[in-house]
Structure 1
């Protein structure tokens, strides 16, 4: 039976990898910035495993993501800043503070009575008030100051919209958003007619931003919806390749009419299967 390692073992392994004389040259050469791309990639691989319901693979991907946290913590520890325990302590303290309905005395050991169940509206109101206080303590007084700029654009658009909606800066329902999409689409058409590349980019950005607003009003994640659309397109194109292959053709060899015909057949078959 393989040896069962613990979190302490992983932290020890990371320290060994960074030992100046006997560590790994690659790991020794890394900095906070050089591993950020890997962090983003590992996070997306976690999401991909979940999307595919591949929970055995998810265990591996979560380990890869955890290793990123351990790596950053090792770098900070070497610089005398903080270590992994400080990271764990900080997130625990923050979550205890943000859940007074679970930890009424503000300590991890405290417990509310099972009878006194708080209302969801109260929980949400307290959560937002605590987060606003935390932002103020960090010197981030603007409502949008702490929305990370490095987020994928679609996710950041949704977070910006959710944040301002909490102070009433929002459409009352999805009908207004649909009207705004029509308005933005007309402006895109005008921009395209002008052949001004910068103007076209601006107007397309406005249209995309408003589409994100519509998914939010429909209580759907824009990122999730777009990932699903990507997967649907990928599946359909694979079916198109198979359809053309049965005719002895590849997509490169097929005419525009043959591609369109195969695409429509694939869509009909897909609808029939449903």
Structure 2
């Protein structure tokens, strides 16, 4: 039986295809691929095996298990699975910092303010929703002690078998950054699982900062998603995350 080609994601910046148990990541930004390969070699958590690399293509093996969940869908993973994910994230954050920097606080504030204005002037979101979430975002916009962060730790990027983490994928945004940003990204739209994640993470977490990052990530993503054919207005997705802060 012939293998079929599955388009996992495709837009002008990059594309990911799956053929059987092999993922082909096509990205013309070689710096981004460099980061992904180097980060996977450094981190103390399970990552996909790199099979080969021929720019602009990176071939990696599929990891075992199933994703912790999907944005917009209730996660059926157990509290123990969420705690295991939290423990894995803590191992990452305790690792030595990568040699490359992350985004500065000033850069994030500048981009956020610009994006909030565009969301309103374009009519994508009502002004009161944007204004309220920009206020919520302030809690996260403070100095932080840099940690080794994944940078795009979506719920679908963490795989488990039972209650054991078998792989964390998509490391192209790895950098130095705020540890709570990873926790917020992983629980975006999954607020009911935050306590289990934090229990595995093993330290006190400022919930106002987590909520601030939920607002920031959603505000920064919505216009891009709309322009690239995705729907952030689906139940449980980014727009609902913003509405929950009203």
Give the TM-score range, shorter chain. under 0.3
Q: Which TM-score applies when normalising by structure 1? A: 0.23
User: Per residue, is there more helix in 1 or in 2?
Assistant: 1
Higher RCO, Cα 8 Å, sep 6+: 2
